[in-house]
């Protein structure tokens, strides 16, 4: 039987939403072992002079706790 933990993070990218999610998952995987899932909680954007400058996502990362 496995026990999981969920942690919430925020990631950003000037390139797009998919890139922001990938960057968040990549960074979380550096310090969290056993990552099994990601849930996108929100998508936002930083706007400057009427143009999207940066995409931001809030994520829930699920990972399995080790014994």
Domain boundaries, the chain: 4-64
* Contact present, 11 and 24 (Cβ < 8 Å): yes
Q: DSSP letters along 3-65, please?
A: -EEEEEEEEEESS-HHHHHHHHHHHHHHH-SSEEEEEEEEEEEEEETTEEEEEEEEEEEEEEP
Q: Which CATH number fits domain 4-64: 3.40.47.10, 3.40.1710.10, 3.30.1660.10, 3.90.1150.10?
A: 3.30.1660.10
Threshold 0.85, pTM exceeds: yes
Return d(Cα 15, Cα 50) in angstroms, integer. Answer: 16
Q: What is the pLDDT of residues 5-62, one digit of tens each?
A: 999 999 999 999 999 999 999 999 999 999 999 999 999 999 999 999 999 999 999 9
């Amino acid at each position: 039987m496995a026990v999981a933990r969920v942690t919430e993070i925020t990631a950003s990218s000037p390139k797009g939403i998919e890139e922001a999610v990938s960057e968040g998952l990549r960074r979380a995987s550096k310090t969290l072992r056993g990552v099994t899932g990601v849930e996108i909680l929100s998508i936002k954007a930083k706007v400057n002079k009427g143009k999207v400058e940066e995409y931001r996502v809030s994520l829930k990362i699920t990972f399995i706790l080790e014994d």
